[in-house]
Amino acid sequence: MLCLFFSISTTWADTVWMNNGDVLSGDIVKLDSGKLSLQTKYAGTIELDWRYVTALDSDKTFWVSLIGEDEARLRRFEGQDTGITVIDDNGRKRSFSAVWPVAAIHIEKPAIADTWELGGNLVATLDSKSGNDDELLIGVEGKLNIDDQWNKNAFYWDIEAEDDDGIKSSEWKVGYSYSRYLDEHWFVQGAAEQEYDSEEDLRTRTSLGGTLGYRFWETAEKALKTSGGISQLWEDYKTNESQRDYALTWIFNYRTRIINNWEYFANSRTFFRLKQSTTLVNVNQGIKIGLTDHISWNLTQIVDYDSNPVDKTQKVDSRIKMGIGYQW
């Protein structure tokens, strides 16, 4: 009878594996806005950050939304340690290496499939520019994300200012991108960005375009995405003639956890100007160290390359940026 009781009590318990090695048992209540609610006997209802969940296992049937779908469907989960198998009500199985394709879980059928999540980060920076008399600039950069299961909106900015012996200069970059996920891997993206520098001959550069992308993976530990397409470039100069051109575009985003709270990231954007047959590359890489759950120290190297600069003097511009950031 003890064996029968133990079997009945554990059959209906859901199991959750976390990236730190913890294995939690309880009853899944819901996954909504990036938080998994788990009802436990030992701590009541706890909320788990979905980014740190690595696997789920349950004999129950839930209303589950996957990225790229328009509505929730009845499904079950199988998994252990890392990865998840989603079983539809008709018996169809799909296996994933991580849990991120699962966007929402509900016991009752949700009236509205979309659940939006707000997040972002803000970083105060010191910027050292090589090859330039302006050695030190103070700035602030940030990013605001508004996401649901299959739509991602990102607003970002980077503003710097300097007062060098009464001579004031400024430069900034602002942008917006919208990504629509077609399934757990493929997505389309539209993006617009403008850069401004009060001191350089290249006063403003504006880009507007669209790409088709593929997400290899995206978890709390690591992420890898890339996309390609076409953009239009507008480049306005103080003394030289303005340039207008279409460009083939390639975007690359990567991050991985090195040790503990140390994270390496590398992002790049490449334009191949079709009319001029020249290449423009921006690489942004660095280390982020988590000091607390929300505070981090950031060290970033920014490299800009233009195969045919208008001033014909400097193809590569490199800078090192250091700052303290807050993430929510």
Query: Which pLDDT band holds residue 57 (cuts at 50, 70, 90)?
Result: very high
d(CA 280, CA 300): 20
d(CA 174, CA 212): 22
d(CA 113, CA 64): 10
* Residue 46 scores a pLDDT above 90: yes
Per-residue confidence (pLDDT) for residue 149, from 0 to 100: 67
As a whole-number percent, the residues of the chain with pLDDT over 90 amount to 49
Residue pLDDT, tens place only, 151-185: 889 999 999 887 766 677 788 999 999 999 887 78
The arithmetic mean of pLDDT across residues 79-99, rounded, is 89
The average confidence (pLDDT) of the chain is: 86
Per-residue confidence (pLDDT) for residue 327, from 0 to 100: 87
* Residue 7 scores a pLDDT above 60: no
Query: Which pLDDT band holds residue 241 (cuts at 50, 70, 90)?
Result: confident
Name the residue with higher pLDDT: 199 or 264: 264
d(CA 304, CA 56): 43
Among 5-19, 20-34, 54-68, 250-264, the minimum mean pLDDT is found in 5-19
d(CA 25, CA 11): 11
d(CA 62, CA 268): 40
Per-residue confidence (pLDDT) for residue 208, from 0 to 100: 97
pTM of the model: 0.72
The arithmetic mean of pLDDT across residues 83-94, rounded, is 90
Per-residue confidence (pLDDT) for residue 209, from 0 to 100: 97
Name the residue with higher pLDDT: 217 or 303: 303
The arithmetic mean of pLDDT across residues 62-91, rounded, is 87
The arithmetic mean of pLDDT across residues 86-103, rounded, is 88
> Please, what's the largest Cα pairwise distance for the chain?
89
Per-residue confidence (pLDDT) for residue 10, from 0 to 100: 44
Per-residue confidence (pLDDT) for residue 312, from 0 to 100: 66
d(CA 238, CA 253): 33
Beta-carbon contacts of residue 318 (< 8 Å; ≥ 6 apart)? 130, 131, 301, 302, 303, 304
In contact, 29 and 60? CB cutoff 8 Å = no
Burial pattern 74-89, b for ≥16 Cβ within 10 A else e, equals ebbbbbeeebbbbbee
Which of 299, 288, 322 is closest to 125 using CA atoms?
A: 322
In contact, 52 and 20? CB cutoff 8 Å = yes
Beta bridge partners of 105: 31, 64
